[in-house]
Structure 1
Amino acid sequence: MNESSFLNIDLDLESEHDLRPLAQAWGDDVCVFRLDNDDGVWRGSFETMEEDAEQIIDKYHQLVTKLSPPLRALWDSAHQRVFDIGFQSGAEPRLYRSVLSAQAISKIEEMGGSIAVSIYANNDN
């Protein structure tokens, strides 16, 4: 199949502080793809199980707003909080459109996040 599609929204964090307590607090609500320290910079990459962009953002918002004050301070101390919206490119449809509501964008802003868009090339020949 050679269709463009929405994939997921990764949450990518960078901080001078250990991000493991966030991953522990979120538990099974997220998949952890990366969580390490490289030259004094902690990096974490997370995904949720939801399939729809609005639901994914809602889930991240719930996870962040329910953090205890010390964990919220850890979240706020991250110098990057990127919500990376991923798409698979394809030959069909000719135009693929995905819309985020103003409410979803406001939730990202409320969390102090930035938005990135990643489009993955189609490897079909």
Structure 2
Amino acid sequence: MADIQFLNVDLELESKHDISALVADLDKRAVVLHYDKDETRQLARIEAKSDAMSPDKAINELCEIIESCSKAGLKQWLSCSRRTFDLGFNSGHSPKCFNEAISADTLLRISAIGAGIEVTIYPVQES
């Protein structure tokens, strides 16, 4: 039987404008999982390098990385139409009740940088 578990937090970015300086800044201290651009938009998915054991810690680590970006990177951050922390979880059959808290301080930090939160739950992989 599979257990419910927190996997990771991905930072998802989307912009109609160039975000190459922002992605380059983030790439110095995080992992760029995906960066794609075409004539209408640019998309990026970023993950912290550490194996944070909770969404709260992972989000704070990513916030710290964002806050340390260059002036050009921060300007591009503000141009993004999507700045989302995507919390990933594996679903499962146990425990009966599972929760992960995000502190009020972390929520304020997310709000201060103009980001949002979403949750992705992956189905149980039956053998």
TM-score, structure 2 as length reference: 0.90
What does residue 24 of structure 1 align with? 24
> What is the alpha-carbon distance in structure 1 between the residues aligned to residue 71 and residue 38 of structure 2?
26
* Deviation of the 1:69 alpha carbon: 2.0
TM-score, structure 1 as length reference: 0.91
5+ residue gaps in structure 2?
A: none
What does residue 74 of structure 1 align with? 76
Q: Which of 83, 102, 105 is the aligned partner of 2:104? A: 102
Runs of 4+ in 1 over 2 A off after TM superposition: none
> What is the alpha-carbon distance in structure 1 between the residues aligned to residue 70 and residue 100 of structure 2?
33
* Residues 22-45 of structure 1, C-alpha deviations (whole Å, 9 max, x = no match): 221123421111101144110000
* Residues 44-82 of structure 1, C-alpha deviations (whole Å, 9 max, x = no match): 001012313222112111112112222211101101001
CA-atom RMSD in angstroms: 1.4
* Deviation of the 1:14 alpha carbon: 0.3
Residues paired across the two proteins, number: 125
> What is the alpha-carbon distance in structure 1 between the residues aligned to residue 103 and residue 23 of structure 2?
27
> What is the alpha-carbon distance in structure 1 between the residues aligned to residue 71 and residue 27 of structure 2?
18
Between the aligned residues of both structures, percent identity stands at 29
Amino acid at match of 2:13: L
5+ residue gaps in structure 1?
A: none
